[in-house]
Amino acid sequence: MIKIEHLRKEYPGTTPLSDVSAEIRDGDVISVIGPSGTGKSTLLRCINQLEKPTAGRIWLDDTEITSPQCDLCRVRRRMGMVFQGFNLFGHLNVIENIMLSPVDLLGTGRQEAYDRGMELLRLVGLAEKAMSWPDELSGGQKQRIAIARALAMDPEILLFDEPTSALDPTMVGEVESVIRDLAKSGKTMLVVTHEMNFARSISNRVFYMDEGGIYEEGTPEEIFGHPRRENTRRFIRRLKVLELKIESRNYDFVDMAEQIRRYCERNRIPLKTSARIQLVFEETVEHLLRPTLNPPKIYAAAEYAEETGLAEWEFRYSGPRRDLREDGDRLPLSVVEGTTVRTEYSWQEGDELPNRLLCTLLST
Ligand SMILES: Nc1ncnc2c1ncn2[C@@H]1O[C@H](COP(=O)(O)OP(=O)(O)OP(=O)(O)O)[C@@H](O)[C@H]1O
Ligand SMILES: [Mg+2]
């Protein structure tokens, strides 16, 4: 349904897309992932012609939308776009926001636009907000209205650019669930997202973008479970593993606790396990930093395996051989021992951080 041929987009000094070819079939739900600056937004903006490609062609069914003769207004009507900023018109109430484009651009009668608008509001769970003003709504509600507004044009394809990234964590779920329902209904969608579990659960294909194009594509299972190429592997690992470095005793404890909290949230780690992840980190790091004159440098990596529910902490630290489990003062570690199923110590001679402690946390 959408065919992209050798798409290239240059900006002065940077070429985010050097050569992109892809086919998006009817009913495809494609997650677009990749590091910042790799052209994910640019790709979406080229598809709906908000940006003019430098070279290459894009087809929407039989219409070449990159052709100068193409009627862009007609094309854009067939594609709905939802950004992260949910830009609703502040001077219009909710239902008016939704009715605006169908009435103005499609010539839909007001009653019909109203009825359809109410239907869409029910779909996103906000029928009772029809007469509210945008600034009376939460971020999650605004974003759901923005989705309803995009749907009001009855687009054949929906493009989402990080629809939940501007939201409070508490509101991410409600927006994701609306998008998930749309995906199930068979709507063709392209979704740029950093939420791995979300991407995994809604899409049938994943585009990993890097090095000027679609660097690797596959099913969610392939990309998230068994990425083949180097950059994809590294990116996926970074999504799954939380890495922290402690260089001195004055490390930013609050920031690290926050990073751990966000990591747990992003990976949907059960509360009990999250609490243990936090606890084992705090106790181990405190214990490592306490007694010595020269506190060690510490590298800590947490990894959570969804399939087994097991979380693991790996601590690597500098200094002489020191198995924490044999330290005289066992108090902090007894806390750790009460929360772990297994601890393992090893020594890597010659390594900058030769001590290695592996803790597998209790899962229930
Ligand atoms: N209008 C523009 N003018 C000049 N450069 C631009 C413009 N839009 C994007 N770029 C550049 O193109 C590159 C790709 O940007 P793009 O926004 O597509 O990345 P992205 O993958 O969406 O990143 P993020 O994950 O941070 O949103 C970046 O280097 C960006 O600075
Ligand atoms: Mg972007």
Ligand nearest the Cα of residue 50 is 1
Nearest C-alpha to atom 10 of ligand 1 is from which residue? 11
Nearest C-alpha to atom 28 of ligand 1 is from which residue? 37
Contact 78, 155 (CB under 8 A): yes
- pLDDT tens, residue by residue, 139-196: 899 999 999 999 999 999 999 999 888 787 778 888 899 999 999 899 999 999 988 8
Nearest C-alpha to atom 2 of ligand 1 is from which residue? 11
User: Across residues 45-50, what is the average pLDDT?
Assistant: 91
Q: Is the pLDDT of residue 45 over 70?
A: yes
- pLDDT tens, residue by residue, 245-278: 999 888 898 999 999 998 998 888 999 999 999 9
What are phi and psi for residue 352, nearest 5 degrees?
A: -65, -35
CATH fourth-level superfamily of 238-361: Histidine kinase-like ATPase, C-terminal domain (3.30.565.10)
| Ligand 1 neighbour 45 (Cβ under 6 A) | no
Ligand nearest the Cα of residue 54 is 1
Confidence band, pLDDT 50/70/90 cuts, at residue 333: low
**Residue 293 three-state SS:** coil
Q: Is the pLDDT of residue 332 over 70?
A: no
Q: Does domain 2-236 have CATH number 3.40.50.2000?
A: no
363: DSSP letter: -
Confidence band, pLDDT 50/70/90 cuts, at residue 213: very high
Separation of 43 CA from ligand 2 center, angstroms? Answer: 9
Instruction: CATH 3.30.565.10 in the chain: give the residue spans.
Output: 238-361
Instruction: CATH 3.40.50.300 in the chain: give the residue spans.
Output: 2-236
Mean pLDDT of the chain: 91
User: Across residues 348-364, what is the average pLDDT?
Assistant: 92
| Ligand 1 neighbour 276 (Cβ under 6 A) | no
User: Across residues 189-212, what is the average pLDDT?
Assistant: 92
| Ligand 1 neighbour 42 (Cβ under 6 A) | yes
Distance (Å, whole) CA 349 – CA 97: 65
| Ligand 1 neighbour 38 (Cβ under 6 A) | yes
Pairing of strands 2-11, 14-24: antiparallel
Give this prediction's pTM: 0.82
- pLDDT tens, residue by residue, 279-326: 999 999 988 888 767 889 999 999 998 778 899 999 999 999 998 888
| Ligand 1 neighbour 14 (Cβ under 6 A) | yes
